[in-house]
Amino acid sequence: MLKFSVKRRPRKLKGVWTGCGSGPSERIKYLRHWVGKLIRDERIEGREDRMNETRGYAEQLISLAIQNGENHRPTMEMATKWFKEKEMTYKLFKVLVPRYENYQTSFTRIQRLPIEYPGNPYYNVVLELKGNPYPSIFPEQRDKAGLLNNILIEAAKKDFYNEHRQSQVVRDSMERDIVGLERDTLQVRMDKSGSGKVENVKTGSTDGTDVDKL
Amino acid sequence: MSVRKFCTLCMQNASQSALKSAKKFYSSSTKLTNTEVRKKRNALFEEEKQRQRAAYVKRVEKILVNYKGQPKDVKLLMNKGISTPYNCAMHINEFLMKRSIVALVNGELWDIHRPLEEPCDIEFRHMLDQDPKLPNQVFWRTGAFILGHVMETAFKDNVYVELCSFPPIPVEKGCFVYDVDLKLPDWKPSQRELTSLSMVGGELWDKNWDFERLEVDASLALKMFEDNRFKREQIPDIAQKHKQKRVVLYRMGEHIDITSGPLIANTSQLYRFQVAQIHHIKSRRFGPLQRVQGIAMPSALHMHWWSWDLLCKRASKPMDYLLPDYFISPSKEPTQQKEDNVRAAVEN
């Protein structure tokens, strides 16, 4: 099961490093390189499109390892084939699986980096495994809910929405009364000429309102 | 436009309605105006302050004060009965002097300019603390205190303002309140008048007035407040609650009032001030009163004018919390009390 969002539009498979050949086989090579690097370093930087690609493969590997375990032959084969280094397969099954066994969210996190002008036309991005030992990318924000201005604004917001909800309830009930009344008792009666007159069904009387002129 | 002109406009309306109702606007007992009463009170306050100081000047004792906090823990040797937490801050760092709203002396809330009595552990609290609950309460109490100052000073001398009391309204309610007797039953303040009243509070930031605390005997307090019929009634009750049967007074500039809790250190810590609205209320104990509602912001916190406007609109709605009648003790007069106000009175 995918635990992170994927865009609906098809991924544009841009070319990989020039001079290494091209096509699907080269693509697999660079994916192996980056996935291995991610598992090894737990935090890597690169072009947004490439990191997005590797993210899916890395997450799939980890979730397969969690689902099937190391004794499952096809999973073990896949893992050994994916990683250039043997230590990475060991790390996957012995370190990452126990870490991510009970996760409800995705195992990786991706965050855009600031643009350094002139630079390249693509966003650079940080892709990291959750629970890594490095200090977090975002500084820890202190809780500012207790500050005087925030308390006052929150209280004002609460008041506003309570009032809004009350008036909405009143409006809804009024609408129901009016609409119900009209639906039951009033009807448009069409003449041969094509003009309509609003007629009270119960009493049969019209108050002369011409539908065309409404 | 200067404040004086705004106040004049305010006063034109007030004086016109005053002339219409043809009432006397002097203190009923001594026939003084607000300015004269203020001068008299200040003279008595100053005299008492000097007298209390003189008791310590003869022999200065030293006390060991333990400061814990930023930038580092320090031990200070201060003068008993003379040194204040502000003096301790002067020895430590400038930012402590400027930003501290209130101090905690042996865990007890203490004014910044209140002299220390015994060897203690001292901490400072400011508006941007990790847990600013206490500074918020202190600030809100100061706002109500300042409302009293605004009402006593803004009006011209032909209007005699008698301050009644200010209840401890929590910050979440969105405004602080002072119940006042303006003797203007038909007055509905216009936006301009409210703005001119707010400007009196807004000027305080520039004035850098300290909030001084003084404990006086109930008899002296009665003498100082003999021109205010409400305070005269309240002082004996207030003195009863105090351990040494004394009354705690606070002075800001020339305004003196009675309040128990600590106030902020200096008016430079208050930045925005708004008198939101004045509502007419009736009280069984005190008669018809005007409830002045206000809102304020400290200089440490910033707010966009749009959000400030929103808060002012909320503050101008009638605040029925802790009306003057709810502080009557059950033995004196049974009153119809709302459940939450009863709980509030019991908790207080």
Closest CA to B296 of B111, B164, B142: B142
| Best residue of B137, B171, B172 to probe chain A, by most A CBs closer than 10 Å | B172
Residue B336 is predicted with a pLDDT of: 47
For B306-347, how does the pLDDT look when each residue is reduced to its tens digit (9 = 90+)? Answer: 999 999 999 999 998 888 887 665 544 444 444 555 556 656
Residue A202 is predicted with a pLDDT of: 67
Q: Which residues of B touch A153 (CB under 8 A)?
A: 307, 310-311
Q: A148, B128: Cβ pair inside 8 Å?
A: no
Candidates B132, B307, B310; nearest CB to A146: B132
CA angle A11, A12, A14 (to 5 degrees): 135
Q: From CA B194, how far away is CA B292, in angstroms rounded?
A: 10
For A2-12, how does the pLDDT look when each residue is reduced to its tens digit (9 = 90+)? Answer: 788 888 888 88
Q: A148, B130: Cβ pair inside 8 Å?
A: no
Q: Is A156 on the interface with B (CB under 8 A)?
A: yes
Backbone angles phi, psi at A127, to 5 degrees: -115, 125
pLDDT band with cut points at 50, 70 and 90 for residue A122: confident
Half-sphere exposure of B246 (CA within 13 A, CB side): 9
> What whole-number percentage of chain A has pLDDT above 90?
53
Q: From CA B245, how far away is CA B241, in angstroms rounded?
A: 7
Residue A20 is predicted with a pLDDT of: 61
Candidates A147, A155, A159; nearest CB to B132: A147
pTM of the model: 0.71
Q: Which residues of A touch B142 (CB under 8 A)?
A: none
Whether the per-residue pLDDT at B128 is higher than 80: the answer is yes
On average, the pLDDT of chain A sits at: 86
Q: A156, B174: Cβ pair inside 8 Å?
A: yes
Tokens of B98: 């400027």
Backbone angles phi, psi at B108, to 5 degrees: -100, 140
For residue A7, the tally of other CB atoms under 10 A from its CB is: 7
pLDDT band with cut points at 50, 70 and 90 for residue B129: very high
Using H for helix, E for strand and C for coil, what is the string for chain B? CCHHHHHHHHHHHHHHHHHHHCCCCCCCCCCCCHHHHHHHHHHHHHHHHHHHHHHHHCCCCEEEEEECCCCCCEEEEEECCCCCHHHHHHHHCHHHHHHCCEEEECCEEECCCCCCCCCEEEEEECCCCCCCHHHHHHHHHHHHHHHHHHHHHHCCCCCCCEEEECCCCCHHHCCEEEEEECCCCCCCCCHHHHHHHHHHHHCHHHHCCEEEEEEEEHHHHHHHCCCCHHHHHHHHHHHHHCCCCEEEEEEECCEEEECCCCCCCEHHHEEEEEEEEEEEEEECCCEEEEEEEEEEEECCCCCCHHHHHHHHHHHCCCCCCCCHHHHCCCCCCCCCCCHHHHHHHHHC
> What whole-number percentage of chain B has pLDDT above 70?
84
R_g (Cα) of chain A, nearest Å: 32
Q: Is A141 on the interface with B (CB under 8 A)?
A: no
User: Given phi > 0 = left and psi -120 to 50 = alpha, else beta, which region is B107?
Assistant: left
ipTM attached to this prediction: 0.84
Lowest mean pLDDT among A141-150, B12-21, B247-256: B12-21
Q: B172, A155: Cβ pair inside 8 Å?
A: yes
For A131-177, how does the pLDDT look when each residue is reduced to its tens digit (9 = 90+)? Answer: 999 999 988 888 999 999 999 999 999 999 998 888 888 888 877 77
For B290-315, how does the pLDDT look when each residue is reduced to its tens digit (9 = 90+)? Answer: 999 999 999 999 999 999 999 999 99
